[in-house]
Amino acid sequence: MQTTFDLFADTESTQPPRAEQIGEQSWVLRGFALPDMDTLLLALDVVLASAALRHMVTPGGFSMSVATSSCGALGWITDRSGYRYSSVDPATGQPWPRMPEVFCSLARAAATHAGFADFTPDSCLINRYVPGAKMSLHQDKDEKAYAAPIVSLSLGLPAMFLFGGFERSDKPQRIPLLHGDMVIWGGVDRLRYHGVLPIKPGQHPRLGEQRVNLTFRSAG
Ligand code: MD3
Ligand code: FE
């Protein structure tokens, strides 16, 4: 007998989005990006072909365990002189690649679901984690305005996201993030401390031994 479940068992896109509220103005949308995954991964390859992932250096002189790149009008960079946004990729001296339409429309749709209408990101930061790579607790303060939310898309290996409070010492919630999940942080939650625990070894069927996270921001 053919059940409805069997009919859809091999497609990723037939589940309704599951929304989980993780803060007053923060939401996880489970699997939100899965219907657009093929287009997304193709667009990501195009971006990374002209702005390759690289390990940037922090102002303190340490090389980040996460490899980064960007697309859109502005890209987040760090070097010995500090953290900032730049319209030029320091590795090529060229503007960052355009933000693919599928990135922009997906970020806008996710923001709308969380109550932030008309989100128009001008920056997409691409973070690539291999097993063992992590991001220590920090606040995102390099953007010019905090009114817009930050939207993230998780791809590949799972991560344990840490969602803290307004002081570094506040005990963070642990939120697992899986391939296709999107998270939106805004309003009162915009300046909360957050980070990512070291990625566990594993193989993802689509992305192999890595996690890629895209964060969409209104930076300028
Ligand atoms: C929560 N990236 O790039 S998702 C970052 O998974 C960063 O690569 C993590 O933290 C990652 O800065 C976490 C994004 C995220 C971004 C900004 C936030 C979560 C946030 C701002 C406030 C609260
Ligand atoms: Fe951050």
CA atoms of 105 and 153, how far apart (whole Å): 13
**In this structure, what DSSP letter does residue 64 have?**
P
CA atoms of 129 and 208, how far apart (whole Å): 11
Q: Is 211 in the pocket of ligand 1 (CB under 6 A)?
A: no
Residue 9 has pLDDT above 90, yes or no: no
pLDDT (average), residues 177-202: 97
What is the model's pLDDT at position 16?
A: 63
Total domain count, the chain:
1
Beta strand residue intervals within 130-210, DSSP E: 135-138, 150-156, 159-163, 173-177, 182-185, 194-196
Give the CATH number for residue 178: 2.60.120.590
Q: Is 190 in the pocket of ligand 1 (CB under 6 A)?
A: yes
Q: Determine which of 1-5, 66-70, 92-96, 191-195 has the lowest per-residue pLDDT on average.
A: 1-5
Nearest-ligand number for the alpha carbon of 134: 1
Q: Which tens digits make up the pLDDT trace of 42-54?
A: 999 999 999 999 9
Nearest-ligand number for the alpha carbon of 138: 2
CA–centroid distance, residue 218 to ligand 1 (Å) = 13
List the domain range (segments joined by +) for residue 15: 4-217
Structure tokens at 78: 């760090």
Q: Which tens digits make up the pLDDT trace of 117-161?
A: 999 999 999 999 999 999 999 999 988 888 899 999 999 999 999
pLDDT (average), residues 180-202: 96
Percent of the chain residues past pLDDT 70, beyond the cut: 92
The burial of 145, by beta-carbon neighbours within 10 Å (0-12 exposed, 13-18 middle, 19 or more buried), is given as exposed
